[in-house]
Amino acid sequence: MSDRIVDCRGMACPGPVITTKKAIEETSSGRITIIVDNEAAKTNVAKFAAANGLGAGVEAKDGQYYISIIKGTGQLAEADDRSQAAIGDTSSQVYLITQDTLGHGSPELGTVLVKGFMTTLLEVKPQPAVILMINSGVKLAVKGSPVLNQLTTLASRGVSILSCGTCLDYYQLKTELAVGEITNMYTIVETITKHKTVTL
């Protein structure tokens, strides 16, 4: 067991929480005392401890807060599992969909494939962050789309479905958009530049 003191006075949000996170990760077992100088930071650090299944005792002295967190070896493994799970659930994967069928060849087969693709996407972890629709790809996000249910489910799980506004205009489908939001080329370029993107 070791005692560790972490001074987070003068730090702006979310500094105290990040510093606490690091200290907890670095400490195998023992007591960690976090010192903060405002109530918001105190509450946030206590929330962070609670979210990781660790109890926190708070002592107020001269307008400063001393938060004691005790970490046992069992709690360490649990906290690590949680942070791993959190990472596993999210990703920054982006799909750029450029047509309303999947692959080149028979359009009929392409429609079957795009349906299979979107249905499978629902099962895959981590889920994508953003699906961008351009050119005839926007037809997948409008009323009557064969994959509307799948896209609606993805949207409800927090996946951004963004359709190119120029493309919706071209196909005269702007009023038919049934899932997600309209976007522009700037956002599309920003998104695919910054994140791992698969083009279909």
DSSP string, 8-59: -TTPPTTHHHHHHHHHHHH-SSEEEEEEESSHHHHHHHHHHHHHTT--EEEE
Query: The tokens of 137 are what?
Result: 């790809």
Stretch that binds another protein, among 57-65, 73-81, 101-109, 173-181 (CB under 8 A): 173-181
Query: The tokens of 133 are what?
Result: 């629709």
Establish if 145 lies at the interface with another protein (CB under 8 A): no
Query: The tokens of 24 are what?
Result: 């907890």
Establish if 10 lies at the interface with another protein (CB under 8 A): no
Please, what is the minimum distance in Å from the beta carbon of residue 178 to another protein?
A: 8
d(CA 77, CA 94): 32
Establish if 18 lies at the interface with another protein (CB under 8 A): yes
Where in 55-84 is the site for another protein (CB under 8 A)?
none
User: Measured from the CB atom, is 9 or 47 closer to another protein?
Assistant: 47
- Among 33, 38, 32, 45, smallest CA distance to 1 is for 32
Please state the separation of Cα 110 from the chain's center in Å: 30
Establish if 135 lies at the interface with another protein (CB under 8 A): no
Stretch that binds another protein, among 58-66, 68-76, 106-114, 191-199 (CB under 8 A): 191-199
Establish if 111 lies at the interface with another protein (CB under 8 A): no
Alpha helix segments (H runs only) across 52-184? 73-89, 107-123, 148-156, 165-170
Establish if 184 lies at the interface with another protein (CB under 8 A): yes
Residues lying near another protein in the complex (CB under 8 A) are found at 12-14, 17-18, 21, 38-41, 43-48, 51-52, 86, 90-92, 129-130, 155, 157-158, 160-163, 174-175, 177-184, 186-187, 190-191, 194-195
